[in-house]
Homo-oligomer: A and B are copies of this chain.
Amino acid sequence: MGDPLDKARVPQATVPRLARYLRVLHRLERDGVAKVSSQELAEKLDANAAQIRKDFSYFGEFGVRGVGYEVSFLIAELSRCLGLDHQWNVVICGAGKLGQALARYRGFREEGYELVGVFDSSSHVVGTPIDELSVRPEKELAQFIRENSVHIAVITVPAEAAQGVAEKVIEAGVRGILNFAPVKLAPVDGVFVRQVDLSTELMVVSFYLAQDRD
């Protein structure tokens, strides 16, 4: 049931919420829960039930009013939608503190994502062991991407190096970039770039603190 998903219709702000729903649904499934209402999900997520229903509506009408959603079906649909039914080979470019933290971050090794390489241009950092990997020299990056079908590059180099690294990985075949460098990368057709700006997150906090103060 449900119409086939037209992803072009899904607003970008919805996507991170889908990931959060999925996480809660996995927890419910582990706890043996088979059905869940949008209200129950809203309570677990500290979110709004109407928003959840709206987000799910992009997947077609698979919730039955008063009965709720089938957990396993929602998990399957959301996983497929988020591309988790596929293996994504990921490299991290830049093995400074942030790159190394991400390389070890358990969330980056969730189902579907395979960290296959970590690269750095500094000879002081090359060879540093990170779990079962060790940091490789950046000059091997392009060839490595081609030989290992790398889909996603996480960029954690300094701002001034980010554009150069992005061009290199795109040229080698990467189609998705998660950019932590505080600089906007030049857009390239067919390449999706998600900019993560950690200081923006602090501003979200101070926005709400300033609200109380006003």
Measured between beta carbons, the chain B residues less than 8 angstroms from A7 are: 207, 210-211, 214
From A29-37, A94-102, A138-146, A163-171, give the one contacting chain B. A94-102
Whether A178 contacts B192 by the Cβ 8 Å rule is no
Are B13 and A210 interface neighbours, CB within 8 A?
no
Contact digits for A76-113, partner B, Cβ 8 Å, 1 yes 0 no: 00001111101010100000111011101111101011
Number of A positions contacting B (CB below 8 A): 66
Q: Which of A63-71, A119-127, A195-203 contacts B (4 or more CB under 8 A)?
A: A195-203
List the B side residues contacting A98 at CB < 8 Å.
Answer: 97-98, 101-102, 105
Q: How far is the CB of A100 from chain B (nearest CB, A)?
A: 5
Residue from B18, B113, B209, B211 in contact with A202 in the complex, judged by beta carbons closer than 8 Å = B113
Q: Would B204 and A15 count as touching, CB distance under 8 A?
A: yes
Given contacts A82-B207, A97-B97, whether A178 and B201 have CB atoms under 8 Å apart is: yes
Most B CB contacts (10 A, CB to CB) among A96, A112, A199 go to A199
Q: A98-B105, A108-B199, A182-B106 are in contact. Are A176 and B194 (CB under 8 A)?
A: no
29 inter-chain pairs at a CB distance below 8 angstroms, sorted by A residue, are: A7-B210, A15-B203, A15-B207, A16-B200, A20-B200, A80-B210, A82-B203, A82-B206, A82-B210, A83-B203, A83-B210, A84-B203, A84-B206, A98-B101, A98-B105, A100-B101, A101-B101, A106-B182, A107-B197, A108-B198, A108-B202, A110-B199, A112-B206, A152-B202, A152-B209, A175-B212, A176-B206, A176-B209, A190-B212
